[in-house]
Amino acid sequence: MIVSKFNTGDFIYYDLHSEEVITSNFIEDVNLGIYCDRLQSITMERISSDITTNGTEGEKKIAFDFTNIVAVQTNINSYFTTLKNSGFSLVFVNITKEIIAQLGYDSIANSDNINSTVIFFDKTTLSPLKREGFSLFYFFENKNDFFPNNFKIEPVFKEHFKNKLKLYCENHDKQHTSSYVYLTSYINIKKLISHEKQFCLYSIIKLAIKALKEWRQSAPIPPYFPGVKSETNAPILVCQSLNSSYFVSVLSNLLKLDVLILDKIGPINKIYNSMNKSIIQDRNYIVVSDLVCLGTEVKIVKNIIEFLGGRYLGNIALIKTETLKKSDIIKKDATVAVFSIDRTNNKELKYFITTDLENNE
């Protein structure tokens, strides 16, 4: 199972950290979460066998993204050397000098290599850790002719996400379940989860990394912290519907956080009076949703948490709808999501929110 392979048209892209997370958490069941930062040979084995069996659609150019990889297993260089020797042009993205030296590739010089500082998060102090490295390292010596210097995977990922979503947008034309508006299409998250398992996992890993970046110091989200978890007040992930329970369970595994399930917030809304037993005073809570449209359910959960003395940190979701202009959104209320439905793509997705009121023309 490869989750992070993208064909950008010019080259094939693999995200090594995400693949490593998949190997350690889902294939080998060691539960290191997204904090695993060593590239192991079983991960490279999986990737290189994907290259040989599934092919690269004729492309002989591959980019390996080393973002978040701090160390590599000894002798892992044979995988890259074999690929190079069978005619592939390789590019390493965001790699530290240490790793290059460990791979034994410091003798390979290319004038197009770009020196830069690679940033990690220190697991113990939770503050950024800077290492010298390359934002681009060409594993060949002739002039580069395929890799754009300012390449970012984000736009490719978003384009890909949009195309996937198109497949699971269904005609709806009914009122929204929890807010008083009409929706023209309904995004079937259940289908997306079951039919695009790999892609969904990759998106959840991205979401976990985003959440970590957002709250790691303020929450804090500590993988290794002296003392007991409850004393350091690690946040609790709140699940508020059946769909979000899937995301919550994967996220809790990746972030190593506890889970609280509050079902029946939406679409069917029913609140029981046993709530006060499940919310702990002064603990931090992060609400997890599948898709945030107008945010009504998130607000309900937020109110419950705060009413019972918990601290609401914020909300994460796979997809969010941006109904306001960027400048009008208050940062504190913004949902952290990996994909936004906004004015640039809602037409394509046929996703409109309407009301019975007359339009202002």
Partner 1 sequence: MNNTVSIIDSNKTFTPLVFYNDFLNKIATFYKENKKEEIVFKLFEKGDDEIYSSNYRIDPISTPLLLSIIEQLSKFHSKPLYLLLYNNNATISVMEFLFRSNFFKTAGQKNYYNFNGNNILNFNEEYLGAFKGREIRKDHIIRAYKKSDYPDIDFSPQTTKAEIDLRDTINSLTAYSVQEHFTELLFDNENTLKNHNTYIDILSELITNGVLHSGSTTYAMMFVDKLKTKFSISDNGIGFKGSLMSKNDFPFYYKKDDFRNSISKTNYNFNVQFIENLLDIFETLFYSSLKERKGLFDLMLNVVLNTNGYFRLHTENCQIIISNRLFKYVNNLQELREEILATHNQFELVKITEENHKTKTLEVKEKIKNEFKKLYTNIVKYYSEETQFSSVRFFNVKFKGVHIEVEIPNN
Q: How far is CA 74 from the centre of its chain?
A: 28
The CB-of-41 to partner 1 minimum distance in angstroms stands at 4
**Shortest Å distance, C-beta 21 to partner 1:** 12
Residues 117-146 that bind partner 1 (CB under 8 A): 123-124
Tell me the backbone φ, ψ of residue 191, rounded to 5 degrees.
-65, -45
The torsion angles phi and psi of 306, rounded to 5 degrees, stand at -70, -35
Beta carbon nearer to partner 1, 37 or 112: 37
| Helix, strand or coil, per DSSP, at residue 89 | strand
Q: Cα dist. 113→62, 95, 110, 116, 146 in Å?
A: 16, 11, 6, 10, 13
Q: Measured from the CB of residue 84, what is the shortest distance to partner 1 in angstroms?
A: 7
In the complex, least distance from residue 29 CB atom to partner 1, rounded to whole angstroms: 9
CA–CA dist 118, 141 (Å, integer): 23
Compute the least distance from the CB of residue 56 to partner 1, in Å.
Answer: 21
Q: Considering only residues 58-117, where is the footprint of partner 1 by CB under 8 A?
A: 70-71, 73-78, 81, 84-85, 104-105, 107-108
Q: How far apart, in whole angstroms, are the C-alpha atoms of residue 311 and residue 218? A: 12
Do residues 156 and 164 make contact, with C-beta atoms less than 8 angstroms apart?
no
Binding positions for partner 1, 187-226, rule CB under 8 A? 224
Size of the site for partner 1 (CB under 8 A): 31
**38 vs 172 by CB, closer to partner 1:** 38
**Per-residue b or e along 189-210, where b marks 16 or more CB atoms closer than 10 Å to that residue's CB:** beebbeebeebbbbbbbbbbbe
Out of 42, 119, 167, 271, the only residue in the binding site for partner 1 (CB under 8 A) is 42
Q: Which is nearer to partner 1, 27 or 167 (CB)?
A: 27
Applying CB under 8 A, the residues found at the interface with partner 1 are: 23-24, 28, 30-32, 36, 38, 40-43, 45, 70-71, 73-78, 81, 84-85, 104-105, 107-108, 123-124, 224
